[in-house]
Amino acid sequence: MRIRLATPDDAAAVAAVYAPYVRDTAISFESEPPPEAEMRERIAGTLPAHPWLVADLDGVRGYAYAGPHRSRAAYRWSVDVSVYTGPDVHRCGVGRALYTALLALLTEQGYAHAFAGVTLPNPPSVGFHEALGFEAVGVFRAVGYKFDRWRDVGWWQRPLVGPQASPAEPVPLARLDPAVVARCLG
C-alpha cells in the first residue's frame, strides 16, 4: 500500500469510495453522492493549504483529508479531519495508515488540534479515533436529519503540536518542504 497526496485525477476513485457512505449510511450528512467533477474541485481546493491523501493498493481504496475547523481567524490552528475506506479494506489498517500520515503532516504544518465529527452511534469509528489518540469532547444532539431520523454527532479532539503562547502561523501544505512531506507519507 502506498499513501500519497491525492491529485484531481483521483476524483473518480475518491467519489466511488465515498458514494456508499452518502447513499447507504448516515455517516455522511450529504444527501447525494458528489459526482467526479465536484470531487475534483474539492481535492484541488483543499491541497494548497491542507493535506488530502489517498491509499493506493492497485487503485485508490481510501482517502483522508483535513480542512479548516471554522472560518474565524482565531480557529486557524485547528483542523477538521475525515477518513473513508472502501468496504474491501475495512479493518485492514488502511484508515490507520491514512490518518497516521495525515496527522504527521498536520503536525509538521504547525496545527495545534485536529477534530473529528462522528455520526452516532458508530462504535467502530469511535474506537478507531480513540485508538489514534482522539478524546471525546462533546455531542451535538439531533444536529442532522437523514433517513427519516434526527442524528447526533459526537466530536473528538486530538492534540498535535499543542497550544503555544505565541504560535507561528500554520504552513500551507504547498509551502511545506517536499522532504518533510515524503517522510510523513512513509
- Over the stretch 63-111, which tens digit does the pLDDT of each residue have? 999 999 999 999 999 999 999 999 988 888 999 999 999 999 999 999 9
pLDDT at 114: 98
Contact 88, 61 (CB under 8 A): yes
Per residue in 110-161, pLDDT (tens digit) is: 999 999 999 999 999 999 999 999 999 999 999 999 999 999 999 999 999 9
Predicted local distance difference test score (pLDDT) of residue 16: 98
| Residue 77 DSSP class | T
Task: Dump the DSSP string for 46-57.
Answer: HTTTS-EEEEES
Burial 86-99 (b: 16+ CB within 10 A, else e): beebeebebbebbb
pLDDT tens per residue across span 31-50: 999 999 999 999 999 999 99
The pLDDT of residue 91:
81
pTM: 0.96
pLDDT at 139: 98
Give how far Cα 134 sits from Cα of 37, 48, 154, 155, Å: 33, 26, 12, 9
Confidence category of residue 162, pLDDT binned at 50, 70, 90: confident
Domain range 2-185, its CATH number among 3.40.630.30, 2.130.10.30, 3.40.50.620, 1.10.645.10: 3.40.630.30
Where do we find the cell 483529508?
Answer: 65
What is the pLDDT at residue 96? 97
- What is the structure's pLDDT at 89? 86
Domain ranges of the chain: 2-185
| Contact of 83 with 144, CB cutoff 8 Å | no
Which of 12, 130, 135, 107 shows the shortest CA–CA distance to 50? 107
Burial of 4 (0-12, 13-18, 19+ CB in 10 A): middle
CA distance 171 to 175: 6
Q: Looking at residues 6-31, what average pLDDT do you find?
A: 98
* pLDDT exceeds 90 at position 13: yes
